[in-house]
Each structure stands twice: as C-alpha cells, then as structure tokens.
Chains A and B, each alone.
Chain A
Amino acid sequence: MNNYPALIVIAPLLAALFAGLAVWIEDRLSYYIAILGLAVSSFSALKVLIQVIESGTIQYKMAGWDAPVGIEYRIDLLNAMVLLLISGIALFNLIASYKNVEQEISDRKGSFYTIYLLFVTGLLGVTATGDLFNLYVLIEITSLTSYAMVALSDKDRGPLASLNYIFIGVIGASFYLLGVGYLYMKTGSLNMMDVADIIASQHDSSTVLVGFILCMIGVWIKMALFPMHVWLPNAYSYSPVAFSRVVAPLMTKVMVYVMIRLMITVFGFEYIFNTLHLSEAVVWLATIAVLAGGVLALAQDNLKKILAYIIVCEIGYMVGGAWLGNQSGMTGAILHLLNDALMTFALFLGLGNMVYMLGKVKLNNLQGLFSRMPWTMTGFVVAAFSIVGVPPTCGFFSKWYLISGAFEAGAYHFAAALIISSLICAILFFKVFEICFFQSSPDLQGQGHGHKFQVMAEAPVSMLIVSNLVSFSLIVVGVFSGTIVKTIILPFLQGI
C-alpha cells in the first residue's frame, strides 16, 4: 500500500507550518513552500485518481488503526475526482495569486499563506475522510480558516462580514454535529461504511430520520442553499481576492460533495427515495434556490456580488439534481460539481485580474474593459458562456444531464427553473459586457488616427496565463464530458 492518499492531505498541512515560519527568513520563501506543498498534493491526487480508476476504491487506515476504531480514508472515484479538483484549483490559484497578495495584504503574507494552506488541507480532508466525526472536525478547520481569512482583509466591512459568517457557520456545523450525535446514538459508530451497514436495517427508526434531517440542514447551511445563503455574498466579496478565488469555487462544492456522500454512502438511495419521500419537497426548494439566486444577482451593482449570487443559484442546480432520484439527475449533479468549480474559478480569476488593475469592480468601473484588458475579458467571456450554458463549454453538458433528469423524474418545474436561470445569467453577463463594450472609460484614453482609443492596461502575465488556461479548460472538459461520465461518474454510481 502506498501513502499517496495521506500525502494529499499531509503535504499542504506540513507546508502550512513551514510557510508560517519561513516568512521570518524571507518573504518569497513561504510562497514557494506553499506552491511546493500544493504541487505535491495535486500530484498525489492525480496518482490516486489513476489508481482508483484502474483498480477500484482505496482504503487508507490512519496510523494503521482499523475502522471503526481508527480513522479511515476511503477514496473512491467520486472523491478521487474532487480531491484532484481541489488541489489543482488551489495550486493554480496560488500561482496566480502572488501579485494579488503583494498588493492587498503585503504586511501579513506569512499568515495569508498559512491560513490558505490550512483551508485547503481542511477541504481535502473533508473529501478524503470516511469518518463522520472526522468530517465535522475538518469542516470546522475549513470554516475557522475562512473566518480568519475574511477578517484578514482590511476592508471596513471585512470584520462584520466575518462575524456574520461565523454565527451562521457555527449554527450549520452544530446542526451537522447534532445529526452525527443522533446517528451515533443509534449505531454506536462513526465510520461511514459501518454506520451505513447498521442503518440499512433501521429504516423506520425516527432517530435515524432526525439524524438525517439535522445533517442535511447543517450541510445546506454550509453550502448556502437558499434561503440559508445570507452569509455567502458578503463573506466572499469582502475577503481578499486571492482567497475568494479559492473559497468561491471550492467551499460550497465540497459541501455539495458531503451531501452527495451522505446520501449515497451513508443513508443510501433506498432510504432517501423509497422510505422518506422528501425528494419532491427538496427539488422544489432547489427550484426556488435557482430562481432566487438569479433574481438576487440581477439586483447587484458589484461584480463580486453578482458572481456570489450566481453561486447561490448554481447550488440549487446541484441539490436539485442530486435529489431528483434518478441516474441522469445524479450524474448531472456530480458533473456540475466539477464544472461549476471550474467555471466559478475561471470567473473569479478574471475578477481577480480586474481587481488587481482597477481596484474596485463596481459595474460602472468596468467601462471599456474589452479594450483595456482584452485577454482577461476573453477568459471571462468563455467562463460566462459556460455559466449560461453555451455548448461546447462544460456548463452546457451538465445542464443537459440535469434537464434530462428533471424530465425523467417529471420535475418540469425544475427543468423550467434551469432554463430560466440560464436566461437570467445571459442577461446578467450581457449587462456587464455592455458596460465593458459600449462605454469607454474617460481617464484611460489615448489619441491617434483621428479618434480616441482605449489604452490597453492588462494584468500581469502570470495571472493572465492561469486565467486563460482555466477558461480554455472549460471547453476541454466540456467536449470530454462524455468521457468523464463514462470513466468516473457512471462506474461510481453503478458501484453502489
């Protein structure tokens, strides 16, 4: 047995310790240590994914203790994919972040890198673990680090947003912990597989039911499912941009992963769809979330906020897809988890470039952006079209599966919500593009050829390369979505 599964999580954890210390020696050193830690983690995640595809689920026992006593890492196709996604996004974001960090929080770089790495460690741990309580601990690690990070930004409203975030975050975590407590009461175990085995014969127990509902509510609060979303827009828009770029695509998606994990591995389809009959209500909730997220996004005048509300809307996609109760819906939800992480990342990368060059990203600051930052905008446009769902970008294909699933389940309202939200997103982004394209910024004009033109002022190359690379990957992932479904998602769904 090799140690790659452990290395995925341990490498960034160790790097976090050293990065904090290294700042006393040399500023840049902590940056390099962080990069190294995440590179090792991504490489291990890639190795693990290949290994899982080739030879099936990996069980890794921490320090050799057997489950259910010891903590077990259980990596199957689903979390192998998510692990690679997290470590990859964290790594690429860090590469693009150097200049942002320099600009925004130059006096606290050491703490930034340490907290950043701890946050990523937490996410990776949440994804890898096969233990319900360990999951709680790791969720708290990610949450605590992100509270710190939101507070770290020296914007006036950072501390307030952070406080708000803490309150709701703690409530969410408590719900989950309480739910785990109920499950422990009934089963006496915390290992997911073990709990699942015991629950299988306890389907009519009300303790399990309460445990299930509490866990779900906790997870929904954490993933900002409407109407439990109020903390998200402020928390994401007031944190340092280098951090919001990683928390926005990953945090909510990891919580979606946790929901799917609980649904599939711990409670099982049989229990959720045939015993509980909750799915119709949850799909309605998701429908409302999709529409509300879109409508709220329309009301914003700050690009960061718009993107934050789009996340709220996209969460509805995945929750709805997972709860449709058929294979297409679940496939769509999992595929959308991957796609949405990538597209949100691409959007926030573009946003990061804009913040770096413009400072503020209120909509009326974005005048003439197509001429000022053509490369940033190219990437941003591709990502926006992916959110809208224009083929061949990846957003289209997951939407395809989700709508198919909705038709299959007869949930026409959910299908309608998906279509309407596509239209709303199109309006949203073209509202932005119109400002960038038709209005020219008065302070950045040059003279030549008889009429005025906009001077180009692009973000640094390191940021541009990453943002355009990620946007390009949206198309690549899109055209290969058939392959991803065939090699990862379907075998995973059939394996249970």
Chain B
Amino acid sequence: MNTILSIKPLLAVLVSLLVIPVLVSSSDRPNVRESWIFIAGTITLLIVLSMLPVILDGNQLALTLFEIAPGASIAFRVDGLGMLFAIVAASLYIVTSIYSIGYMRGLKEHGQTRFVSFFALAISATIGAAFSANLLTLYMFYEILSLATYPLVTHHQDTKSMISGRRYLIFILGTSIGLVLPAMIYCYHVTGTLEFSTAGIFSDQLSKPAATVLLLMFVFGFAKAGIMPFHSWLPAAMVAPTPVSALLHAVAVVKVGVFSIIRVMTGIFGVELLSTYNLGVVVMCIASFTILVGSCIALSQDELKRRLAYSTISQLSYIIFGVALLSPQGLLGGIIHIVMHAFGKITLFFCAGAIFVATGKKYVSQMSGLGKKMPFTFTAFFIGALCVIGLPPSGGFYSKWNLILGTLEAEQSIFMLVLLVSSFLNAFYFLPIVYKGFFEKSNEEDENMPVKIREANLCLVIPLIISAIISIVLFFYPTVFVNLIKVGLAI
C-alpha cells in the first residue's frame, strides 16, 4: 500500500464551498444559480471519481493542511471507505439538485438562494468528513455539517420548524460537544494521536471499563446515526423541505454519523481491541434495540415522511450492527448497506416529495388510488421499498444477505433473528402503501371516470426514476463498492 500526496481531496471539498459566493451573487437569476450548482456538483463528482482507480489499486491519497498539535492535525486521507461514502454523497447530490429545483420551484418556496447555499456547504462538509484522516478533522466536518443543516431544517421559519430546529440542535450539538469532544480529547491525552489506523491507536493503555465508556460515548455521541435514545431529532427534522430530508436525512447527515462510528470502531479502537474486550456485542445489542423499536414505531406512523424517518433510524442501525459483528462478512454487509440504503431511501423520499407536490398529500391514509395517477412514482416507490426491505432484485438484498452471513460467521446466530423480524416489519410498513396506491380505490373520485395520469413535473420524476434504476443495478453490480470496502479494511 502506498500513500500518495495529492491535492484532490482538498479540491473535492473546496468546490462546493467556493461556489457559495457565486450562488449568492446570482441570487436574482435562478437559472444561472442552478446551473452553477450542477457545474459544482459535476466537478466534485469527477474529482472524486478520478481518485477511484488509484484507491482500487490499494493506494491511499493524503494531504496534511495544518498541524494543530503534535499528532493532531487537519488532514485528509482517502481510503476505500471514504471513497465509497464520497461517491454516494457526490452522485446523489447531483440527482438531488435536479429534484430540488422541481420541488422548490413547484412549491414557490422562499429563500431559495439561502437554501442552495447551505446545501452546498453541507455537501462540502460531508465530502470532508468522508476524506478525513483523523478524528479531529472528522469532528470538525461533523460540526460544520450540523450547523450548516440547521437553516435547512428550519427553512420554513415558522414555529413548528423552530421547535424542530431546537430539538435538532439539542440532540446533535449537545451530544457532539457533551460526549464526543471529551472522549476525543481523552483519546488524544492517552495516546497522543488521533490518526485512523486499522490496528487502532491504543496499544494497552485502556482497561475494559474505560474502553467501554469511551466507546459508548462515541456511539451515542455521534447522534446523527440516530441510535436510540438520541434519535428523536430525525423525525422532527422532517419539517424540512423534502430535498433536505432526502439527501441529508437519508444519506449525507445521518450517514456521516454512521460513518463516524465506523471510523471510531475500525480506526480508533481497531477491530482487534474490540473483539478482545468483547465490545462488539454491547454495540450490537444497542443497535438491535434501535432496529426493532424503530421498525415498530415506523409501523404506527401515518405521515409518510415520518414513517420513512423511523425506517431510516432502524436501517442506520443495520450498518452499526454489521460493523459491530466485527467479522469480515459483517463489516462488508454493514458498510455496503450505506450505499444500498442510500439509493433505496432517497428514492422513497423523492416519491414522498413528488406525491406532496403533485397532490398535496402527505399521509399514508390519503394515498389510496394514487398509483394509477402517478404510476412512475409508485413503481419507483415499490423498488425503493424492495431495496430497503432487502428483497431481490434490489441492492438491499446484497447487504442483508451479507449481514445474515455475518451473524453466522461471528457465531451470533441469535442476532440473525433481529434481522429477520425487522425485515418482516419493513415489509409490513412499506408494502401496504404500494398496495393502497395501486389497488385501492380513492374515495374522492367517481368510479366511472377514466383515471388520468397526473405525475409531478419532470424535474421531480426523473431523479426518482434514476435512483430507482440504480437501486436495481446495484443488485447486479455491487463489485466496485465491495472492492472499496475490501481495500479500505484490508479484509
């Protein structure tokens, strides 16, 4: 493995950041502004992809910007995991940009320039988190992301969004400052470094109780991952416009949380230390609890976006669950679920938003018969649902399959039950929506009237078709991502 000095990770972060002044200055020409977003998004994706071959060859790209203290610097390092996450975020950013044009203009939202600017900042921070070489840099981007998302969550500037914003801040900022910061400084105090390495940074400085406390501080502290009991910000954050829910609260923000936990478990503690102290099981219990309870609550939600939010909470814990198995197959299944869930869940959110823009409906109980009016949207919803449930032919099947194999490999077959039960629950809260859409009759309309197709505008429909197609493609071709994980974790 070679480490190559490269400026590319920095560029990938800077593009979306530097485009913000341009966006602000072209605020009265929406079309110009939107084309800049595309240019920035495309350049970011191209820069990210240009690094792909080098990474797949087993190399790493690194760049140190500033040294803050010996062993603690602001630095980038691109490895397989970071690459995987960056590809997902950067590619979905472009898709979401198209979608958000359709959504924001369709609803004539105010403050669109502010919206796209903070969106760009959030993406910049997400890419930064993906490419962080150490915990300090990761923490920095994590915090920037938290703060950049606040004006997006509270976009409507009404009382409801203020209260949700408060909840968002209390949970996200409260845990990161209250738990992660002291835990991180303690790690630095004990070891003198925060650099991620597959062997972990502790040699034998940590006793089992200390390691347990630290690990729990990290797992709960990165509350973006939505582990219960620090999950309730996510349903609250659904007051945001749907593009935010779709990209940030199904992909970027929540997965930065999960990604941070993965980094801490694999790069700070190291798989070996965790298995020596048998800490994987602790995390697995926490994750299992979230998986099951999240799925159960999702069943009872009538508002579609909230149902999706609870589903996200439970799905995120799949990822943590897989990593906590600490076996190669489990790690693979968990981490690749980042990708699969991203495409599946963003499709679902896109559909929810499209339904809202086209019909103004946001409750599941109102959706009878909509499938005939919006066949594309509901077909895409079906595919997204398959992907999240984990059924073939969708990408979700691949990750669930590996997770189940992982439980066998780690000899934790009792936990396999969690996965199976949760999959059933997933099917129970998603498939009825599809059924309602296609087969139930709407009570508002006359039965004899021929049903006309009334999809939302093209900017909304195209992205959801694209992401649905990718969800299926990933079932057949997951290889790139699998290889990235294998390279990243040396498994």
Query: In the docked arrangement, what's the CA distance between A472 and B143, Å?
Result: 18
Query: In the docked arrangement, what's the CA distance between A388 and B146, Å?
Result: 14
Query: A481 and B68: CB pair below 8 A?
Result: yes
User: What is the CB-to-nearest-CB distance from B20 to chain A, in angstroms, rounded to a whole number?
Assistant: 11
Q: Which residues does chain B contribute within 8 Å of A401, judged by CB atoms? A: 69
Contact A390:B188 (CB < 8 A) given known A434-B162, A437-B154, A438-B157: no
- Encoded as 1 (CB less than 8 Å from any A CB) or 0, chain B from 129 to 140 comes to 000000010011
Judged by a CB distance under 8 angstroms, whether B458 is at the interface is: no
Query: A391 and B65: CB pair below 8 A?
Result: no
Query: B177 and A400: CB pair below 8 A?
Result: no
A residues 103-151 near B (Cβ < 8 Å) are none
**Which of A38-46, A79-87, A270-278, A402-410 interfaces with chain B?**
A402-410
Query: A391 and B154: CB pair below 8 A?
Result: no
Smallest CB gap from A391: residue in B: B140
Which residue of A385, A403, A453 is within 8 Å of B182 (Cβ)? A403
Query: B110 and A423: CB pair below 8 A?
Result: no
Contact A482:B188 (CB < 8 A) given known A390-B147, A392-B140, A438-B154: no
Judged by a CB distance under 8 angstroms, whether A329 is at the interface is: no
Judged by a CB distance under 8 angstroms, whether A90 is at the interface is: no
Query: In the docked arrangement, what's the CA distance between A391 and B174, Å?
Result: 15
Q: Which residues does chain A contribute within 8 Å of B159, judged by CB atoms? A: 438
Contact A407:B66 (CB < 8 A) given known A419-B177, A430-B169, A438-B162: no
Contact A397:B185 (CB < 8 A) given known A430-B169, A438-B158, A438-B162: no
Query: B169 and A479: CB pair below 8 A?
Result: no
Smallest CB gap from A385: residue in B: B147
User: What is the CB-to-nearest-CB distance from A395 to chain B, in angstroms, rounded to a whole number?
Assistant: 12
Query: A422 and B154: CB pair below 8 A?
Result: no
Contact A391:B139 (CB < 8 A) given known A403-B182, A423-B177, A426-B169: yes
Q: Which residues does chain B contribute within 8 Å of A485, judged by CB atoms? A: 69
Query: A391 and B136: CB pair below 8 A?
Result: yes
Judged by a CB distance under 8 angstroms, whether A415 is at the interface is: yes
Q: Which residues does chain B contribute within 8 Å of A403, judged by CB atoms? A: 181-182, 185
Query: B74 and A426: CB pair below 8 A?
Result: no
Q: Which residues does chain A contribute within 8 Å of B161, judged by CB atoms? A: 438
- Encoded as 1 (CB less than 8 Å from any A CB) or 0, chain B from 93 to 119 comes to 000000000000000001000000000
Query: In the docked arrangement, what's the CA distance between A404 and B191, Å?
Result: 12
Which of B72, B178, B181 has most A Cβ within 10 Å?
A: B181
Query: B177 and A389: CB pair below 8 A?
Result: yes
Judged by a CB distance under 8 angstroms, whether B173 is at the interface is: yes
User: What is the CB-to-nearest-CB distance from A89 to chain B, in angstroms, rounded to a whole number?
Assistant: 24
Contact A397:B68 (CB < 8 A) given known A392-B140, A407-B189: yes
Judged by a CB distance under 8 angstroms, whether B444 is at the interface is: no
Query: B177 and A479: CB pair below 8 A?
Result: no
Judged by a CB distance under 8 angstroms, whether B186 is at the interface is: yes
Query: In the docked arrangement, what's the CA distance between A388 and B139, Å?
Result: 14
Smallest CB gap from B177: residue in A: A422
Contact A415:B182 (CB < 8 A) given known A391-B140, A437-B157: yes
B residues near A, CB below 8 A?
65-69, 72-74, 110, 136, 139-140, 143-144, 147, 151, 154, 157-159, 161-162, 165-166, 169, 173-174, 177-178, 181-182, 185-186, 188-189
Please list 9 pairs of residues, one from A and one from B, whose beta carbons are closer than 8 Å in the complex, sorted by A's number: A391-B139, A397-B68, A400-B69, A403-B181, A416-B182, A430-B169, A434-B162, A437-B157, A479-B74
Given A438-B159, A438-B161, A483-B66, list of 5 further CB < 8 A pairs? A389-B181, A400-B69, A437-B154, A438-B158, A451-B110
